[in-house]
């Protein structure tokens, strides 16, 4: 639980001082002004690592579809024509025969372990000179049903791969969320690094101006004879040192801008690569009160790593249950019924038989005048069954490892939360201390400059105090940026980074 309360008045005054530095940093020059929100949204849409990672849930979804297809019905249709010609050797056998056959079969595996097949078949038999009834038709329907009663019975065994694929998809989505939050935190840090680098450049420029002012003052004092010439050399050395610091600050700013451009995946032909990036947002130095236990509870329920650890445990529990089922004996119930019909119709009395057509043979099937049925059990007993028992033992060990992984992940998150809270708490204190130090260093420098003007100090002492002030200003800038990063890290360790920034992966 995070509660924001007003900071000390002098901390607010320090923020205004930082804002003033920001305004003096040259951001009125031509450049690309960026808000933090704009950078985060751009990175969420365009960051190349995220664009690539977005493919993983889609790939996992296709794996789910592939597993669902296991229960899709399969329709098979076949037709054949067979013709036989032979020299007559037996007057009771035809010399030629032509048979046309057609079959249509529908088969499907059912989610609870059973399977069925339904096959329609029809034959046309034409044997001139032998059959009194040509052509002669026979048709039938072959229905089969098999269901396991021990091993393989129930959805656990039959849908294991489908359920595992769905959980893999869920884990892929959570991993994408984790990467997105990590990217957003990195982009936010890069944004504040650009702001800090630009302000550091301003500090270096101000230090250089102070060193140049001291050099000019020394030259005037040497001209009027109130200062030894060696003081000019000391001041020139100070100017040279500040020039070096300005060059370093300029280089650091360029590097920070390029890193932000990379994270936002700015196209290589975009003009943004050739223009300064101007951060328009200001650091937030409002003190934040944190409820550690509330943050920890949120993290344990929202963190993608925690969710994935639990999902992985669910997967191993399912695999263990399925492996236990596989150690059972195999008892299967089989049932089959085949009603048939033909085209021959036999009237009652002395009336001769009448041969009909294909429709007559099909029409007889529902009457069940001609049929065959069977039912039975098949029992298979694997001797020793070491393969299944070994797989079951392995799955049990994997489940135990996953339980330990969940506990380990909880401990890791607890440590990360406590560290993040500690960084926030110490961050605001660092900023307050650095702000006070800047004020004190400024006063020290002012006092030393007055002493120097009255001949009671040296250029070396003034340059030392100038460097102390510059170091304090840089520390203040870094403390403010580190505090922003600590706040972002606190949101990430809770798993609320996107919501806190008003962002979504959808």
pLDDT above 80 for 14? no
Q: Band of the pLDDT at 133, cuts 50, 70, 90?
A: low
| Stretch among 158-162, 166-170, 261-265 having the lowest mean pLDDT | 158-162
Question: Does position 456 have pLDDT exceeding 70, yes or no?
Answer: yes
Strand partners, 372: 338
User: What mean pLDDT comes out for the span 411-426?
Assistant: 96
Q: 48 exposed, middle or buried (CB, 10 Å; 0-12, 13-18, 19+)?
A: exposed
Residue 22: the pLDDT is 41
Place of tokens 């509330």: 294
Q: Return the CATH number of the domain spanning residue range 2-64+163-315+396-500.
A: 1.20.1600.10
Select from 317, 500, 489 the least CA-distant residue to 413: 489
The answer to whether 169 and 64 are in contact (CB under 8 A) is yes
Burial 254-290 (b: 16+ CB within 10 A, else e): eebbebbbebbbbeeeeebeeebbbbebebebebbeb
Indicate the pTM of the whole model: 0.80
pLDDT digits (tens, 9 = 90+) for 362-408: 998 998 989 999 999 999 988 889 999 999 999 999 999 999 999 99
* Higher per-residue confidence, 355 vs 171: 171
> Is residue 8 predicted with pLDDT exceeding 60?
no
Helices (H), 454-502: 459-494, 497-500
Q: What is the pLDDT of residue 34?
A: 95
Peptide bond into 172 cis (omega under 30): no
Name the pLDDT band for 227 (thresholds 50, 70, 90). Answer: confident
Tens of pLDDT along 59-99?
999 999 999 999 999 999 999 998 887 766 666 565 677 88
How high is the mean pLDDT of the chain?
Answer: 88
User: How do the domains of the chain map onto residue ranges?
Assistant: 2-64+163-315+396-500
Q: What pLDDT is recorded for position 7?
A: 39
CB atoms within 10 A of CB 51: 11
Reported as a pLDDT band with limits 50, 70 and 90, residue 13 is very low
Give pLDDT, residue 88: 64
Alpha-carbon distance of 194 to 70, in angstroms, equals 54
């Amino acid at each position: 639980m995070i509660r924001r309360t007003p900071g000390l008045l002098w901390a607010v005054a320090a923020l205004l001082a930082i804002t003033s530095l920001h305004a003096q940093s040259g951001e009125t020059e031509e450049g690309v002004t960026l808000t933090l929100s704009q950078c985060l949204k751009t990175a969420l849409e365009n960051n190349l690592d995220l664009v690539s990672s977005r493919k993983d849930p889609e790939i996992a979804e296709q794996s789910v579809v592939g597993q669902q297809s296991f229960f899709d019905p399969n329709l098979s249709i076949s037709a054949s024509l067979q013709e036989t010609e032979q020299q007559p050797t037996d007057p009771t056998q035809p010399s030629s025969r032509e048979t046309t056959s057609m079959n249509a079969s529908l088969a499907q595996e059912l989610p609870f372990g059973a399977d069925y097949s339904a096959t329609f078949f029809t034959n046309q038999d034409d044997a001139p000179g032998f059959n009194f009834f040509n052509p002669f038709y026979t048709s039938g329907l072959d229905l089969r049903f098999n269901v396991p009663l021990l091993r393989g019975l129930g959805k656990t065994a039959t849908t294991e791969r489908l359920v595992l694929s769905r959980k893999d998809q869920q884990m892929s989505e959570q991993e994408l969320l984790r990467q997105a939050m990590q990217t957003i935190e990195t982009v936010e840090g890069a944004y504040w690094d650009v702001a800090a680098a630009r302000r550091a450049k301003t500090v270096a420029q101000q230090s250089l101006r102070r060193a140049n002012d001291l050099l000019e003052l020394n030259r005037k004092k040497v001209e009027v004879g109130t200062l030894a010439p060696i003081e000019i050399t000391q001041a020139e050395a100070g100017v040279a040192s500040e020039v070096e610091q300005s060059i370093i600050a300029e280089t650091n700013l360029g590097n920070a801008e390029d890193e932000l451009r990379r994270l936002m995946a700015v196209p290589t032909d975009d003009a943004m690569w050739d223009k300064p990036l101007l951060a328009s947002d200001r650091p937030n130095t409002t003190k934040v009160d944190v409820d550690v236990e509330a943050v920890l509870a949120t993290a344990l329920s929202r963190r993608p790593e925690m969710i994935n650890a639990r999902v992985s445990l669910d997967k191993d529990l399912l695999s263990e249950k399925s492996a236990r089922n596989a150690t059972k004996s195999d008892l299967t119930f089989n049932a089959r019924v085949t009603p048939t019909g033909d085209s021959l119709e036999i009237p009652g009395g002395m009336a001769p038989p009448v041969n009909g057509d294909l429709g007559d043979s099909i029409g007889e099937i529902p009457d069940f005048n001609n049929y065959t049925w069977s039912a039975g059990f098949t029992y298979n007993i694997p001797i020793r069954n070491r393969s299944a028992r070994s797989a079951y033992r392995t799955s049990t060990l994997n489940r135990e490892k996953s339980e330990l992984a969940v506990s380990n992940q909880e401990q890791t998150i607890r440590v990360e939360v406590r560290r993040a809270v500690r960084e926030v708490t110490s961050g605001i204190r660092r900023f307050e201390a650095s702000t006070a130090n800047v004020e004190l260093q400024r006063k020290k420098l002012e006092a030393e400059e007055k002493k120097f003007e009255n001949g009671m100090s040296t250029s070396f002492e003034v340059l030392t105090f100038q460097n102390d002030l510059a170091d304090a200003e840089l520390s203040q800038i870094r403390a403010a940026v580190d505090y922003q990063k600590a706040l972002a890290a606190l949101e990430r360790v809770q798993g609320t980074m996107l919501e806190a920034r008003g962002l979504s992966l959808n």
